[in-house]
Structure 1
Amino acid sequence: MIAAVVVRNASDQLHTRALATLRALLPHVGIVAPGIYACDLAGTERVLGAPSRIARVIVERLARSGAPAAVAVAVTPFAARVAAERTADGDVRLVTEPREYLAPLPLEVLPIDPKLVDELSLLGLRSVGDFAALPRGAVFDRFGRGAARAHALARAEDEERVRADPPPRRIRARRVWEDAIVSREQLVFALKSAIDEL
């Protein structure tokens, strides 16, 4: 499951705070766009609970950090993001059937060229569901690779996974000396020794 988090009107400071809050809570957090995050919940259920509970915790933690957010959980990152964008701040939405959820939405939610939207409208296709109903091969042959990718998203066949940056590593060193360090030279030597160990 994927949790999409939307923090609207995120300034650089708010974006940084929201990202730090999410990374403190979850192991796999990716940045989709400023203020939009994708969190892979795989493996978190045992520790944090069901996806709906995790989503509520995300909303609560972000609100406490001064970053009100909307969260949606779905099987695919695209469906989760679209649902989160259509969810009010402080609310959680669980999308159990992404294809059914996306079907009534307008074509504009898909990442396709506006000219293609116009062309599809001329063919009588106005919703994501109309577009998803087209045969896969025909979409690729007639409209190209970009449209085929959008078609896969419309059919909730999104194979893309969350691209998460690894959390920053904390580097620590500890050294115990038998004798007290009493001079500056001893301190410099001790610090160089600790750095060399890292």
Structure 2
Amino acid sequence: MLIKDSSQVEKEFRSFLRAKSLKLSSLNLPIAFDAMAEFWAATRFSNVLAEDGDGIACYEDVTDHGRGTRLEIGLVRLLRLPSDAISAPSPVHRLRLRICYKWDMDVIKTVLPAGTWSFACWNARELSAFKQAIFETAGFSSMREKKPAEVSTLLDTVTSMPHQLKPEPGARQMWWGVM
């Protein structure tokens, strides 16, 4: 499906979830991952860069968005838009599907000692390796069957440099070069 305006990515994602009879409140990690991956594979936007313009990312981080400290595992659709100059920062529409968990002994004993992580995929041929890397993390494997405390989506527009497509070792959720 080709959509003309990438700024409508959140609206399209919510429509996609409704068509699959999925509600944000009913998502667990495997279902959320599969939904975001399918949405990425099935829905294309015409106004993104031809090369490395449409990616999917996943991260784990410890966050506080006004509801207390949570373990957050996020799935992100990154849509890079053309910029005026080749080496200039690119605007990026970033749709985050945030899946947050309250602290429990699994988080303290298993997830936190393993550290935070971030992975990105810009090519459909890399999706299997991307999925395997995420599913093997302590955070994903420990939280996969648990009910999240909060699931939400957030769309924002940020900027990134053309060379910052993959996270550096030890990078967190904002690895894509937010300026």
Does the alignment reach a TM-score above 0.5? no
Please give the TM-score of this superposition, normalised by the length of structure 2. 0.28
Please give the TM-score of this superposition, normalised by the length of structure 1. 0.26
